Chains A and B, each alone.
Chain A
Amino acid sequence: MAQEYSHRDFTGWSFKNRPEYDFNVKVIRGSCFSQEMPDSDIFPDGVSGLEFYNCNLDNVKLPPDSIAVDCLQRRFMAQPDGFDWIVDENNQPIERL
């Protein structure tokens, strides 16, 4: 388990252009990476070998070979009126969050 990334609160964070963060071949448990817009691309380009367990990955676009087990992976859109919606792959509303 990657201690430096596990059991951490990264809500809203982006790791693009952040060379101090190395996510290659890491096992991450119990962290929150939740974003407010669907398909948020937050991990550095070219990262591979990521495994997530019991993480909140709402709205996070994962690197192609990532594994996510027992994680939250909802797509939702935050709305200015406060009523956020779960959305489908075309970002059409399905139900209230």
Chain B
Amino acid sequence: MALAATNLYELRNTATAGNLNGGGFNPGNANFFTDFTATSADTAAPVISSASYAFVAGDQDAYAYVKAGTNWRAGFYRIASVSGGNATLDATLGTGMYFDAGMNRWLPTTWTGCASTASPTGGTLGFAFMFQDAAEATMTDLASVGASTTLTSAAAPFRAIFVGNILSLNTTGTGAFGVVGRYEIVSYTNATTVVTDRTTNTGTALVAGQGRIGGAVPLGTTGTLSDDSFFERDGVAGNRYFFRSGTYTPFALAIAVGGTVSAPQFWTGYKTVWGDVCNDSDRPVLAMAANGLTAPVRVQIRNIIFTTTAANGITAALGDIWENCSFINTSTTTGRAAFGTSTGSLINCEFISYRGSALVLTGASFIMGCIIRNSDIGVRTTTSGSGHVRIDDCIIENCRSFGFQVGSAITGAIYINRCTFVGTLDTTGVAIDIPTGKSAIYISENIIWGWATGIQAVDSVANSLSYGNNFYNNDTDVTVWQKMKSDMAIDPAFTNEGQITGATATTSGSVLTQSGADFSTVTDNVDFCYLVSGTGITVGFYKITGHTTTTLTFDIAPGTSATADKVFSVVTGHNLMPTGAI
């Protein structure tokens, strides 16, 4: 056997770093007890029991997994307390998790109780110990005979309800015949003996191996025996990883195994319960710094913020789907990308690169409902083969040089539909830039506002279309590119889009001071300042983390200079809902 595709893994930044917890559970295990009964099962506090197992105090805070049984409601429910060998669950509406097959997602429960009747019988239940910071069991005397899947510990740490949990074997033991890695406890023999999904040794007996069962994984240690190896070594197609809200500092993730067409992997950020609403700063943060991250193939990633300073930022692979993620490259080195993809689908994501391109497309890609902003270049295409790029219903805001820069090497068609290209109130850059020799570029129903040039081409673009675009507040709407009769010039009258500028600011450390300014409309940790020029500073974007009436505090120090010549721009508001008659 091998680790199962149905395995679920829990990540928590508060879990003990380097503890090498088990971190996972297989709800597909076939050896759960099938004789569970319950009382008050249709209330928020069901009491469960089994003739096969007497719960112990240490079982509290494990999650009962109701797998099957007449009138039982499948899903996870936390064990709130243990008494007299029975366990009381927290089955309050929305605190458990169930698998919605139609959506192919784990979601918070939409019911109270763990069954539809008060006293169900014949329940098949497993128990997951990954929803806690520390391991439930720590062993230092693990042993297995040559090539056997039977694993023993004389210290008798095993419980019958450990079945389905993941054991992390963290040392090779005496003689180094153990194989470090994660193993599923397939079945339970007794307190000293369990059976794992595959042998824990090289063919020669494991002696005195160290391992842990249960506990979440935090990320942030490196090497073969590391928390990060959780992804790098032990993942298989179909696995689901759940990141609880918080900031993670992975050291370097080199993830080899992804998903397949029929069994993609899932990485999902959540706030308190799997599948809950997890937006904005509630989303977990993976602070990759210089390491960047290359995702494996066919992974569906939701609700995660990635920050990086790596040259290529975060990189997608074949068949990846990214939803409600943010990609922020904070590097002060020019030309760095926040995100790059050759075949990805990007839905409701955000992209920012302080000094480079927010989104680099190197192949056929689909981008829908995304926000691309506060970057030198918003979207840049390089190569595409014969594939097409499609960008629909996106906002490209405050990108200083280009909103969408078409690369000279792209050969596939480009569709730009219903997007809002917003430069700045005092205009900046080019919304859409098309190099010479291009064809098959379709630009329709976009708002193009606040640019030095709206659409810029070098020569005639064959087989192209300009339909229903609204050009307003641009220095020049088009260069070479041909408008059509359906194109408009109507003030979109955005609900709230403002700009604060200055030209005589000074800087000290992370603080910019502009005498006479009024920064009262600035929103901290939302708005960015673009330093245009000035003595002793590095030009580019800076996130505003604090402000007074006349000062802005940045995340990154731009350089200290008392010379009052700093030219800057702050875009505020960001409510681009048009109120004009368009």
List A residues at the B interface (Cβ < 8 Å): 7-9, 11-14, 16-18, 29-32, 34, 36, 53-56, 58, 70, 72, 74, 76, 78-80, 82-84, 97
Known contacts A14-B556, A30-B218; A82 and B289 CB within 8 A of each other: no
Q: Which among B218, B248, B334, B555 is the interface contact of A12 at CB below 8 angstroms?
A: B555
Q: Which of under 10, 10 to 19, 20 to 34, or 35 or more describes the interface residues of B? A: 35 or more
Complex contact B509–A34 (CB within 8 A): no
Known contacts A18-B509, A80-B334; A8 and B290 CB within 8 A of each other: no
Complex contact A17–B510 (CB within 8 A): yes
Complex contact A79–B247 (CB within 8 A): no
Complex contact A30–B336 (CB within 8 A): no
Complex contact B289–A84 (CB within 8 A): no
A43–B311 Cα gap in the complex (Å)?
Answer: 26
Q: Which among B246, B249, B510, B557 is the interface contact of A56 at CB below 8 angstroms?
A: B249
Complex contact B333–A8 (CB within 8 A): no
Which candidate, B12-20, B42-50, B157-165, B404-412, is the interface stretch facing chain A?
B12-20
A32–B249 Cα gap in the complex (Å)?
Answer: 6
Complex contact B287–A16 (CB within 8 A): no
Known contacts A11-B287, A12-B330, A79-B333; A30 and B13 CB within 8 A of each other: yes
Complex contact B290–A9 (CB within 8 A): no
Question: Majority SS of interface residues in chain B?
Answer: loop
Complex contact A34–B218 (CB within 8 A): no
Residue of B with least CB distance to A97: B290
A30–B311 Cα gap in the complex (Å)?
Answer: 23
Inter-chain pairs besides A12-B332, A31-B247, A58-B289, 4 sampled, C-beta below 8 Å: A7-B13, A30-B247, A36-B332, A56-B251
Residue of B with least CB distance to A79: B333
Q: Which of B494-537 contact A (CB under 8 A)?
A: 508-511
Complex contact A72–B222 (CB within 8 A): yes
Question: Majority SS of interface residues in chain A?
Answer: loop
A-B contact pairs, 7 of them (CB 8 A): A7-B247, A13-B510, A14-B510, A17-B509, A53-B17, A58-B289, A70-B221
Closest Cβ of chain B: how far from A32's Cβ, in Å? 4
Q: Which residues of A contact B333 (CB under 8 A)?
A: 36, 78-80
A70–B219 Cα gap in the complex (Å)?
Answer: 12
Complex contact A54–B220 (CB within 8 A): yes
Closest Cβ of chain A: how far from B47's Cβ, in Å? 36
Residue of A with least CB distance to B286: A9
A8–B249 Cα gap in the complex (Å)?
Answer: 8
Closest Cβ of chain A: how far from B562's Cβ, in Å? 13
List B residues at the A interface (Cβ < 8 Å): 13-14, 17-18, 218, 220-222, 246-249, 251, 285, 287, 289-290, 307, 309-312, 330-336, 508-511, 555-557
Q: Which residues of A contact B310 (CB under 8 A)?
A: 84
Known contacts A9-B287, A78-B333; A14 and B557 CB within 8 A of each other: yes
A36–B335 Cα gap in the complex (Å)?
Answer: 14
A51–B333 Cα gap in the complex (Å)?
Answer: 29
Closest 8 CB pairs of A and B: A82-B311, A34-B289, A17-B509, A32-B287, A9-B287, A54-B17, A14-B557, A12-B556
Complex contact A18–B510 (CB within 8 A): yes
A75–B511 Cα gap in the complex (Å)?
Answer: 27
Q: Which among A30, A58, A78, A97 is the interface contact of B220 at CB below 8 angstroms?
A: A30
Complex contact A7–B331 (CB within 8 A): no
Residue of B with least CB distance to A31: B249
Q: Which residues of B contact A70 (CB under 8 A)?
A: 17-18, 221
Q: Which residues of A contact B290 (CB under 8 A)?
A: 34, 36, 58, 74, 76, 78, 84, 97
Residue of B with least CB distance to A1: B14
Q: Which residues of A contact B332 (CB under 8 A)?
A: 12, 36
A44–B1 Cα gap in the complex (Å)?
Answer: 55
Q: Which residues of B contact A16 (CB under 8 A)?
A: 509-510, 557
Closest Cβ of chain B: how far from A66's Cβ, in Å? 17
Closest Cβ of chain A: how far from B281's Cβ, in Å? 11
Complex contact A7–B14 (CB within 8 A): yes
Complex contact B309–A34 (CB within 8 A): yes
Known contacts A9-B247, A11-B289, A32-B287; A78 and B309 CB within 8 A of each other: yes
Complex contact B309–A29 (CB within 8 A): no
Q: Which residues of B contact A36 (CB under 8 A)?
A: 290, 309, 331-333
Q: Which residues of B contact A17 (CB under 8 A)?
A: 508-511
Residue of A with least CB distance to B556: A12
Residue of B with least CB distance to A83: B311
Q: Which residues of B contact A83 (CB under 8 A)?
A: 311
A78–B290 Cα gap in the complex (Å)?
Answer: 9
A56–B290 Cα gap in the complex (Å)?
Answer: 10
Complex contact A55–B18 (CB within 8 A): no
Q: Which residues of B contact A79 (CB under 8 A)?
A: 333
A79–B310 Cα gap in the complex (Å)?
Answer: 10
Residue of A with least CB distance to B354: A12
Q: Which among A9, A11, A78, A82 is the interface contact of B312 at CB below 8 angstroms?
A: A82
Q: Which residues of B contact A80 (CB under 8 A)?
A: 333-335
A39–B290 Cα gap in the complex (Å)?
Answer: 15
A8–B556 Cα gap in the complex (Å)?
Answer: 15
Q: Which residues of B contact A53 (CB under 8 A)?
A: 17
Residue of B with least CB distance to A37: B332
A9–B247 Cα gap in the complex (Å)?
Answer: 7
Residue of B with least CB distance to A20: B546
Closest Cβ of chain A: how far from B374's Cβ, in Å? 15
Closest Cβ of chain B: how far from A20's Cβ, in Å? 8
With most chain B CB atoms within 10 A of its CB, the pick from A12, A14, A16, A55 is A12
Known contacts A34-B290, A80-B333; A12 and B309 CB within 8 A of each other: yes
Complex contact B17–A30 (CB within 8 A): yes
Complex contact A82–B309 (CB within 8 A): no
A9–B429 Cα gap in the complex (Å)?
Answer: 31
